Amino acid sequence: MSAGTWQLGDVTVNRVGFGAMRITANPDRSVAIAVLRRAVELGVNHIDTAAFYASPGGTLRVGEGEKRHANELIREALAPYPDGLVITTKVGPGEDAERGFYNATTAAELREQVEMNLRQLGVDTLDVVNLRIMKKPGDDSITERFGWLAALRDEGLIRQLGVSNVRLDHVEEALAIAPVVCVQNSYSVDLRGDEDELIGFCADRGIAYVPFFAIAGSSREGGATADHSAAIEKIAITHNVTPQQVRLAWTLHHSPNILAIPGTGNPAHLEQNIAAGGLELSAEELASLG
């Protein structure tokens, strides 16, 4: 891949990966399977997923009804998994029939979520597990929760650990307990918050920064935004590409430790996302994007 590589802990991955959140939105399961297989054919060796990525009416457990869960689609499409493929998942948020959508607050709940990911993906050890939190004002330490995941790593259920939806102080807390291989936060050309300091902190320590909503921007879970700046539109016209590709290219240009994880259930959009890794933006174009 022309976007180059970065270390995800002890594994080298291509900087354009694949986010599985939207794969279940495609009503044609065979197309979803084909998109996942095509992604790997195009060089994707880093897939981001979660046990709570399921389509409406989908199942959260293997063997119950139609397999419309991201982990199960990944397993059906790609198992036995090719050498070098890294599947990153996340725990913290969860969903089941009794509790609905919930956030894990105990060691037992986090273990249950880890074990669910293991079952759904059909593996004995998860490559990378991110602790995703719901940030709250005031004291929202992650020390206890991250420590529980570190214990599961010591048991051999997890190889490497990361954090998601966090601040710099959260990352520092986690690093005091165990190595952190990635930080996954919301970040895009027009929705940056105060992330640049955290990106630099990670780059200095060899930690991958993995932005979600790089294409969606303020649309977030709603999918690719149609609200593009004049600068994005101009660059897209100049290069004969889509505004979404410009957004991805900016993300990759911004810092070498950034790993993009654009997600889609659309084969054409997949090809465009991968191609964005080769889109070269000039210094003037980057400056116009701020």
Average pLDDT over residues 28-39: 95
Please tell me whether residue 216 adopts helix, strand or coil conformation.
coil
Average pLDDT over residues 110-116: 97
Are 47 and 87 in contact by the 8 Å Cβ rule? The answer is yes
pLDDT for the residue 154: 98
Give dist(CA 127, CA 176) in Å, integer. Answer: 21
81 is annotated as an active-site residue:
no
Average pLDDT over residues 203-228: 73
pLDDT for the residue 54: 85
Domain ranges within the chain, ordered by starting residue:
5-288
Which of these is catalytic: 53, 81, 102, 187?
Answer: 53
The answer on pLDDT for 224 being more than 70 is no
More confident residue, 88 or 225: 88
Are 110 and 103 in contact by the 8 Å Cβ rule? The answer is no
Cβ burial of 126 (10 Å; 0-12, 13-18, 19+) is buried
pLDDT for the residue 55: 74
Q: How confident is the model at residue 98 (pLDDT cuts 50, 70, 90)?
A: confident
Residues in the chain: 290
Contacts of 154 (CB under 8 A, 6+ apart): none
The answer on pLDDT for 139 being more than 80 is no
Average pLDDT over residues 234-246: 94
The answer on pLDDT for 157 being more than 50 is yes
Give dist(CA 26, CA 30) in Å, integer. Answer: 9
pLDDT for the residue 61: 39
pLDDT for the residue 42: 96
The answer on pLDDT for 137 being more than 90 is no
Question: What tokens does 287 get?
Answer: 């400056």
Any idea which fold 5-288 has? Answer: TIM Barrel (3.20.20)
pLDDT tens profile 164-213: 999 999 999 999 999 999 999 999 888 888 899 999 999 999 999 999 97
The residue whose two tokens read 């240009």 is 253
Closest CA to 105 of 90, 121, 93, 118: 93
97-106, 107-116, 229-238, 262-271, range with the lowest pLDDT: 97-106
Give dist(CA 241, CA 158) in Å, integer. Answer: 39
What average pLDDT does the chain have? 90
